[in-house]
Amino acid sequence: MQIANEPREKGSYVVATYRVRDMQEKLAARAEGIAVGLTVGSWTDLPQAKQPAVLEYCGQVRGIRVLDEADPGALGETHSGSQDQTHSGLVTAEISIAYPVHNFNGTIASILTTVFGKLSMDGEIRLVRLDLGETLQRQFQGPKFGVTGIRDMLHIPDRPLLMSIFKACLGRNVDDLTDAFLEQARGGADLVKDDEIFFSEDYATPEQRVTAFSRAAREVEIETGRKVGYAVNLTGPASKLADRARRLCDLGAGALLFNAVAYGYDILAELAVDPDVTVPLMVHPAVSGALYGSATHGIASDIVLGSLMRLAGADIVIYPSPYGSVTLPRSEGLRLVGALRADSPHKPVLPAPSAGIYPGLVPKLVSDLGTDCIVNAGGAIHGHPGGVVDGASAFMAAITATVQGTSLHEAAENHGPLARALQKWGTGQ
């Protein structure tokens, strides 16, 4: 039976598209089962007089599309590169279900629990697209700063930003870490961020680090005229995060790094709407691979790290780059960035591809993403043959050359740190 509701105002549905493996003759029944089972349940058992009211909350089947069986990529590749094996008698199909927006309560938990809660345990099924609709999007504030706000904060109008990552931070005291911050900042980093695993509460606490690094950033600004922001890892019990976030902002944090998948989207959304959280929110992708890593199960990365992070209010999203060591396929990475920039009531988000980035990859990164991005580097700054200052300087030279249309090899003729970086890591061609 096809359920058909009266059309509502455009955008008053959330439309989820699932990729499934099933017998072709069972697809229609499976789609109806999803539409009804994730909304009103067994509504046909209700008295007839009550059915119209219940139907207002019932999901609708919007489409069933059988994918080309001849296409070896119909299910896609796993992130390890292995091809998923087809099963005899089964087809790959996409099922689209529309959920009335008034089924949700203004939380991302209600969205995820509805569209992929118990359904996530139903065998080979993957949430591949999620059209949130304008009505639901307007229930959320979205990013407070976005691309323009971050550029204004750092006084960088047009080029890609350079972000350096603290490495080997565990066990180091504040003085030692301050020296490391100064090296990265003096080399040219616009942002310096914590490692996401830095949870220290008994030495070099977040408050101590922000206080020390804010002084160091002012020192660099006096020396160079450049602003440098410190992205401190926001950690602690969930019930105390908002208070700590406000305190870190008051102490001079440049941004708050947040493990949003581990803590939850709605905690991120609460931070985004807090008027006393006055700096950008930077999301780390930790744990997200458990959700998007399979080609046949879970949720697509452009939903996990793209549209839902933007909805929740992330200003910067770090994600595994297609260029480095912990990768997404390039097409998947571009879809993710597309979700951060798509037409929306919300501000666009700065993408920060990460993992294995070195100076020679900057032209490829800018070619794919344009200049509204962050070049996020760790090992290639700290592992530069000339040291940390030269490592950051090499990246800035690569960014400048790329924006000006100069080849990196030509730029390296007059820039020793860039030349040594290219000699060590190459250009990624």
> Which residues are the active-site residues?
118
Please return the burial class of 173, using the count of CB atoms within 10 Å of its CB with bins 0-12, 13-18 and 19+. exposed
For helices 362-369 and 388-404, the axis angle rounded to 10 degrees is 50
Q: At 100, which amino acid appears?
A: P
Rounded to whole angstroms, how far apart are CA atoms 413 and 111? Answer: 54
For helices 362-369 and 330-341, the axis angle rounded to 10 degrees is 50
Paired strand residues for 299: 127
SS3 318: strand
Instruction: Please say whether the beta carbons of 244 and 277 come within 8 A.
Output: no
- Angle at Cα 60 formed by Cα 128 and Cα 49, nearest 5°? 150
> Does an H or E element contain 18, and which?
strand 13-22
Distances (CA, A) of 398 to 78, 303, 352, 361, 375: 33, 31, 16, 9, 10
Rounded to whole angstroms, how far apart are CA atoms 429 and 425? Answer: 11
Instruction: Please say whether the beta carbons of 374 and 351 come within 8 A.
Output: yes
